[in-house]
Amino acid sequence: LQDGAVPEIVDPSMSIEEVENHPGRRSVRVTYDLVVRDPDPFAGQELLQRIVVHGVDEHDAAVPPRGEPVAVMEATIRADSGTHPQVAEAVVNEVDLDVEEDLWRNTPSGDAEPIAEWLDHLIAEISLAEGQTVVATATTPVVTGSWGPLGSD
């Protein structure tokens, strides 16, 4: 293939916002531009978009992040020539974002007493594939917050 003759994922980003009227739920939104230049052998083809959101270890907590994904989003997109904004969104439970799990204990009165609260660090890995062939990948910058029971995000 010639240089630039594959689809590109440009400016990937992720945001996490509260879901209106649904406390305890968060919207995870991933955006990027799909750039397809002529002559691209994938122009006009359908591609499988797969986005996996998961924790990353920033080495600032006593425990490593949970290994399972927070969200997996898949869709079929068309790789038309040009630049095309892409958006994928999933609604998750806030506690699922607590990948560096906070620690607390119950007091004799039944209240939760904080022991340790750690920041949660998340990324989204984006891949585009035609059949079994991955034609583009990208990773968003890290999004940091505190989504556990002791957090405020």
Which of these, 128, 123, 134, lies nearest to 30 by C-alpha position? Answer: 123
SS3 annotation, 41-92: CCCCCEEEEEEEEEECCCCCCCCCCCCCCCEEEEEEEECCCEEEEEEEEEEE
pLDDT for residue 118 is more than 90: no
Quick check: 102 and 117 in contact, CB under 8 A?
yes
Tokens of 63: 């425990």
* Whole-angstrom distance, CA of residue 88 vs CA of residue 67: 22
Residue 32 pLDDT exceeds 90: yes
Q: What is the pTM of this model?
A: 0.87
CA 65 to chain CA centroid, Å, is: 14
Backbone angles phi, psi at 151, to 5 degrees: -85, 180
Question: What mean pLDDT, rounded, does the chain reach?
Answer: 88
Amino acid at the residue 64: P
The predicted structure's pLDDT at residue 1: 36
Report the pLDDT value the prediction gives residue 128, as an integer from 0 to 100. Answer: 96
Q: Please tell me the predicted confidence (pLDDT) of residue 43.
A: 83
| Residue 110 pLDDT grade (very low, low, confident, very high; cuts 50, 70, 90) | confident
Distance of CA 124 to the CA centre of its chain: 3
pLDDT in tens, 36-89: 987 778 788 899 999 999 999 887 766 677 889 999 999 999 999 999 999 999
